[in-house]
């Protein structure tokens, strides 16, 4: 799933609930901000490791007991992992969902294309259509919230 879609999904989740939208969006951003650099500089062998592990959700679950901001971050973080897993299932790679089991299971992902080649092959896939639906949902919600705000200012 493209990184900006995680942020947009966080916006959607934050709008639907009563949690801080900024904290939920921050939670959606962190897994890739942590794991991608670790993979790029070679500390980990893959891009879905520490912050994409279900164990990270256990830690966040403990932090979530400390207040609403941590709960919002945990919800956003969880949505990121859920969307990454959904993306793999939709695109016919359910075995890759094993990334959630890191470090217990170190799974070699089925996709190993360079980023540009991957992005081009990704367009039109079932997961890319799911991403489109997320963007359209967020756009609709954003426009409707603007309409509501302008009606409030007129009355």
Nearer to Zn ion, 14 or 52 (CB): 52
134, 4 Cβ separation under 8 angstroms: no
CA gap 124, 17 in Å, rounded: 30
Residue 120: CB minimum distance to Zn ion, A = 19
Query: Applying CB under 5 A, which residues contact Zn ion?
Result: 31-32, 84
Residue 31: CB minimum distance to Zn ion, A = 5
Nearer to Zn ion, 72 or 85 (CB): 85
Is the backbone peptide bond immediately before 62 cis, with ω within 30 degrees of 0? no
Residue 11: CB minimum distance to Zn ion, A = 17
Residue 145: CB minimum distance to Zn ion, A = 27
Nearer to Zn ion, 71 or 77 (CB): 77
CA gap 153, 36 in Å, rounded: 44
Nearer to Zn ion, 106 or 149 (CB): 106
């Amino acid at each position: 799933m493209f990184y900006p879609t995680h942020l947009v999904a966080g916006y959607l989740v934050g709008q639907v609930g009563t949690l801080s939208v900024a904290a939920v969006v921050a939670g959606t951003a962190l897994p890739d901000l942590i794991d991608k650099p670790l993979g790029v500089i070679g500390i980990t062998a893959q891009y879905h490791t520490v912050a994409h592990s279900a164990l990270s959700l256990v830690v966040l679950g403990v932090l979530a007991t400390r207040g609403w901001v941590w709960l919002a971050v945990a919800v956003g973080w969880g949505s990121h992992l859920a969307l990454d897993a959904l993306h793999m299932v939709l695109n016919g790679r359910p075995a890759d969902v094993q990334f959630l089991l890191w470090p217990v299971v170190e799974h070699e992902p089925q996709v190993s294309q360079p980023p540009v080649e991957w992005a081009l092959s990704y367009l039109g896939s079932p997961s890319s259509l799911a991403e489109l639906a997320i963007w359209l949902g967020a756009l609709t919600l954003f426009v409707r919230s603007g309409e509501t705000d302008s009606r409030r200012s007129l009355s």
